[in-house]
Amino acid sequence: QLQASGGGLVQAGGSLRLSCAASGRTFSSSYIGWFRQAPGMEREFVAGISRSGRGTSYANSVKGRFTISRDNTWNTVFLQMNSLKPEDTALYSCAGSEVGGSRWYEYAYWGQGTQVTVSS
């Protein structure tokens, strides 16, 4: 139902844009979140966007550097990542929720992740 793409290897200070493409009729009615998980670390919330796209939230660690947006016509959510740091290295996944929030258990369906690696 959800497929994340756009990851890759980038140098510190660089940019990447992740995409989360959805199939099915539930996308426009869902709050979409991005999470990331580095090896040996817990999964953490990165950013989320409301159904309309007018409401967004970010983890403190990415505020001012990452921007989340969505296009309901194309059933896609984007995560623009600028000024990347080595500590941003992780597997990034998108997920859908009926209620929103920053906790992974608030999200009912998940897509496969895309790896982001930031070299120093």
CB 47 within 8 A of CB 4: no
pLDDT at 49 over 90: yes
pLDDT band at 117 (very low <50, low <70, confident <90, very high): very high
Instruction: Pull the structure tokens for residue 79.
Output: 């995560």
pLDDT at 25 over 80: no
> How much is the average pLDDT of 70-85?
94
Higher-confidence position of 30 and 81: 81
Q: How far apart are CA 59 and CA 79, in angstroms?
A: 13
Of 73, 102, 96, 76, the closest CA to residue 17 belongs to: 76
Give the separation between CA 93 and CA 61, rounded to whole angstroms: 17
